[in-house]
Structure formats: C-alpha cells, structure tokens
Structure 1
Amino acid sequence: MTPDTLPQHASGVCKNCSAATSGNYCHQCGQAAHLHVPTAREFLHEFIAHYVALEGALWKSLGGLIFKPGFLTCEYIEGRRVRYLQPLRLYLTFSIIFFALFKFSGMAVINLGDDRPTAVVVVTEDDAAKARRMVAGTPEHAGEFKRSIAPIVSGVGSMNATLGQKVQHFLDLPRREQEAALKQAFFSYTPYAVFGLMPVFALYLRILYVRTGRRYGEHFLFGLHTNAFAFLMFSVLLLIPPSLDFLELPLSLWLMFYLPLAMHRVYGGLPLATGLRWIVLSLLHVLSLILAVVAAMALALMG
C-alpha cells in the first residue's frame, strides 16, 4: 500500500476547513472525518447516486408510493420527511429510468411508413368493361401530404426564410432519415419538456382546488409524487415479459385510478367532485403533454 491508499482516520482537525472535529463529521462544513481514496466500485456507486437514487430512503418510499396514493405527499406536508426520498429526487429517479428503458427497448417512437417505390393497382370503369393497370412510383399519399402542407411551409418561409428552408429540408429527407431525426429529437428534448410541465400541472391543481387554501408548493409536491409513480409504472409495463402479459391489465388499471385516489387522500372532498376534477386534470395534462412534446421535437429539428 502507498500512503495515498491508506485510510486516513479522524485526526481531530477537518482536512477541508481545519475546524476541530470530535465525531464522524465536521460540525463546521459537514465533511466526513474518516477519509480514504475511493475504490473503483465506490466511485461508480457515487457517480450513479448523483443521478439515480438506488438505496436508503428510496426503498422506504416505494411502499408508500406504490400502495398508498397520496401518502408521501401527506407525510411531507405534515413534516415527516427525512425517512423518505425527497420528492424531486424521486421524480428524477423514475423519469431517468423510464426514458432509459424506453430508449433501449427498441420501441418505435414514430413510424412514417415506407417511401420505397410501390406498385399500386388502380381499378377504372368505362362504358365497355373494367380494366386494370399497374402504376409504379412513390405512394400517392406522400405527394398529397406535401401538397397539403405546402401553404404552411410557404407561410413559415415568408415569416422566416431560414426556418422555412429547414422545414423544407426535413420534408425532403427520406422517410427513414426523418424517423431517425424525430427519434433523436424525442429522446434529447422530451424529458426536459415533460419536466417543464410540472409547474403547469401544479397550476391546474391550484385552479381546480382554489377554495381549499392549499399553497402552490403543495400542488407542485403532489405533482412530483404522482408523476414519479406514473414513470415507475410505465417502466414496469415496459419490463413485463410475454409470459406475464396477464399483469398488464391490473397494472394499467392501477395506473389509471391512482391519481383520483391520491387526489381524494390529499385534498379530500366528495368522490364525485374528485372524479370530475380528475377528468378535467387528465384532459388538460394530456393535451399539454402532446403540445409540449411536439413543440420540443419541432424546436430540436429546426434548431
């Protein structure tokens, strides 16, 4: 062993701020008193832990998150926080896991069809008889699509020539290249767009529960917990093997009804009123998600 690899035990003085220490941590700056050069395993664990919570409070939080809708939100509001993972960390953990699984699952983000030349059978009828003729070429709907959006492309070009050129360049790409560009844009920007909707989700709750006296921060907290659960369930559904397909229905139903149950636990009120608010909130959130994802992908493609 070299001097650099030997454990450095507490010597009574913090190596970071030089304050006197008498325990496992410095009371002045919080650095550990027992230091050693990390092993490769410890370094890897520390690196991953910066992005995904894998131990400790995460496992204590899972039971409440999965089986008790709204429980973690109530616990946090009532001051019982240290025993559970922080809401933002919980959200980031499961959102990162979901998008990583989705990216490597091989599922198609979007399928624009095939742009290879095809043979189309056209049936025509005249006064004498029916005849068939073969027409070879690209699919007709591709040409129709370009003609239908031509005014839009022209309008964009009139407002911004550079942007119009980028739109036209994307439309001129082969289908497979368009799909690849859309896929890259989706995974590069969609996670940020979805996270950016959390304040909007909280705003919807603030409007729906304006008479409850809840603060905006409480609605934001509720949004982090419920969306963390959604990412967790989507991840589980992605991982279900074909032999366990029968689990998809109950898990999907639990995912669907989790939000109203959480709303009822946290906000109270009559079940009918909660159900109506759930429907409005779901419609608004889904619409916002679609608009945010489309806008993020468009900005990525045109950037």
Structure 2
Amino acid sequence: MTPDTLPQHATAVCKNCRAATDGNYCHQCGQATHLHVPSAREFLHEFIAHYVALEGALWKSLGGLLFKPGFLTCEYIEGRRARYLQPLRLYLTFSIIFFALFKFSGMEVINLGEEIPPSAVVVSGDRKAPEPATEFKRAVAPLVTGAGSFNTTLGQKVQHFLDLPRRDQEVALKGAFFSYTPYAVFALMPLFALYLRILYVRTGRRYGEHFLFALHTNAFAFLMFSVLLTLPPMLDFLELPLSLWLLLYLPLAMHRVYGGARLATGLRWIVLSLLHVLSLILAVMVAMGAALVG
C-alpha cells in the first residue's frame, strides 16, 4: 500500500495521541481522523486557511482594526475571539511586514555624512582650525572613557567602532537597527501596557487588558506605516488623511475601550504618546549600541 492510498475512513485510535476516538475528529487532541497524504492544492489551501487566515478571520480583523478603533479589544474582552486573528499574531504579522518593507524600501536609516580626509583642514587667518576627525574624537572621548571604566572589553569595542571608516560605521549601525530594533520595539509592549495601567489605575482593569490594547493599537500603527511606506506616487493625495487617521486612532481607541470624558482621554493620550516616543527613542539607542559591542 502506497502513501497515496492510505485508508480514508475514521480510525479507531488517534494517530496523534493514541486516544480511542469515534467520529471525524479526536475528542482528546482535535486531530482529524480522516487521514491521507494531501495534494499540492490541499496543502496550499491548508496553509492559506490556517496561517494567513484568508477565509474570514483576516478580513474581519482587518476591517475592525482599520475602521473601528478599539473594536477588536472590546470584542476580545467580551469573549468574541474565534472570529478574529489572535492579538499577538496580528501584531507580529504587521510588525514583520513593516520592518521587511522598510528594510527593502531603500530609505536612508543612518547617515553620518561624508567622511573628511585628515588632510582637509580649514584655515582661518594665520590659524589652522582643528581637523573634524579630531573634534569628533574629543566629543566622544567621555563615551570611550566611561565604557572602559565600566568594562575594559566594552571600552575596546567602542574604540574599535569609532576607529572604523565612516562607511563601515554606517553599515554596522544599519545592521544593528534591522537586527535588534524589532525586538526592542516588541519589548516595549509590556511597558506601553504599564503606562496604560498607571493612566487608568482607577478603572480597575487588569494588566492583561492593557496589554491586549497595546497589541491591537500598535498592530494598527505598523499596518498604517506599511501602507504609507508603499503608497504609489499617484496616490500621494492620500498621505495626509492617512496620517491624520494614524494620529487620531489612538485617542479614539482609548475612548471606546476605557470610556471617560473626551478631555480626560485627550490628556491621557498626550501623556501616553510622550512616554511611548521617549521609550522608542531609548529602545532604538539601545539597538544602535549593539553595533558598538557586536
């Protein structure tokens, strides 16, 4: 008997967990009891259905995410979950798409300027101005000293990075950005939820609800950034309304999920945005620092 002619009827024992079963699915682990080697078409259909969720859940999730700020969070809290993509999958999907598009878009991430040869100096009167390279080394000398006092090896790596040609420094920083920034940004989600917990401490909501809200709103942000990044020139007129929607989305979502007066929501939004932007800057700086010690 070849693999292509495996029995199509229900098995008495589940092939996966060995539990006794009766019907189309195992009551213990949920695996189908009708087993056969899938054709290429069946395999593709299964991949699309389960991983891309093209059959319903994706479109319902996209519709709620794009046009109803806070809707998916409320649905999840109310227990209506199976019809939508899971929050973590939603966030990871759109964050991966954004960073992939950003990496291959050709946009300049790091620009340290043109490297000036050591012989290029500025003469003012009878005095010779310091070489730019010398001024730069003086400016970063405290960084090298501080790193060296903290850890000798770290200080050596920082010095090695600073001694690299400008082009090599840019390559190292770009590599660090795309290697570490996605993880650093994801690590901010618990912090984003903590900010919400503090801002809405009197609502009695659990931390998990704030984390859920963080995943949904940041998934929307990554989706919108991806759209703006790939917007063709003929649709440039959409850039302004899309940017405004991106700006207004978070306070509208906060009002839907948490309620309260609009003025109070607006104030919380400003505080939350400032804290998150500062956290993002710090996270990117840490990612850039990885280039110094890598």
**TM-score surpassing 0.5?**
yes
- Alpha-carbon distance in structure 1 between the residues aligned to 2:42 and 2:292: 40
User: Amino acid of the residue matched to residue 190 of structure 2?
Assistant: P
Contact 2:122 2:131 in 1 (8 A): no
User: Structure 1 residues 302 and 40 mapped into 2: Cα distance closer, same or farther (>3 Å)?
Assistant: farther
Count of matched residue positions in the alignment of Structure 1 and Structure 2? 292
The 5 A counterparts of 1:1-303 are 3-6=2-5, 8-13=7-12, 14-39=14-39, 53-56=52-55, 57-117=57-117, 124=124, 140-303=131-294
User: Structure 1 residues 158 and 33 mapped into 2: Cα distance closer, same or farther (>3 Å)?
Assistant: same
The superposition leaves residues 170-200 of structure 1 with CA deviations (integer Å, 9 ceiling, x where unpaired) of 1111111111111111111111111111000
Contact 2:120 2:131 in 1 (8 A): no
- Alpha-carbon distance in structure 2 between the residues aligned to 1:286 and 1:185: 20
Contact 2:172 2:291 in 1 (8 A): no
- Alpha-carbon distance in structure 2 between the residues aligned to 1:44 and 1:165: 52
Percent of pairs with identical residues = 79
User: Amino acid of the residue matched to residue 103 of structure 1?
Assistant: K
1:44 positional shift? 6.8
Structure 1 unaligned runs (5+)? 127-132
- Alpha-carbon distance in structure 2 between the residues aligned to 1:85 and 1:124: 66
Contact 1:185 1:301 in 2 (8 A): no
The superposition leaves residues 37-95 of structure 1 with CA deviations (integer Å, 9 ceiling, x where unpaired) of 34556667767888x63523121111111000001111111111111111111111111
The superposition leaves residues 236-278 of structure 1 with CA deviations (integer Å, 9 ceiling, x where unpaired) of 0111011211111111110011000000111111111111100
Range with bigger deviation, 236-245 or 39-48: 39-48
1:280 positional shift? 0.4
User: Structure 1 residues 106 and 7 mapped into 2: Cα distance closer, same or farther (>3 Å)?
Assistant: farther
User: Amino acid of the residue matched to residue 224 of structure 1?
Assistant: L
User: Structure 1 residues 41 and 294 mapped into 2: Cα distance closer, same or farther (>3 Å)?
Assistant: farther
User: Structure 1 residues 4 and 79 mapped into 2: Cα distance closer, same or farther (>3 Å)?
Assistant: same
Contact 1:72 1:225 in 2 (8 A): yes
Contact 1:189 1:300 in 2 (8 A): no
1:12 positional shift? 2.7
Residue 181 of structure 1 aligns to a residue whose secondary structure is helix
- Alpha-carbon distance in structure 2 between the residues aligned to 1:183 and 1:11: 55
- Alpha-carbon distance in structure 2 between the residues aligned to 1:29 and 1:246: 52
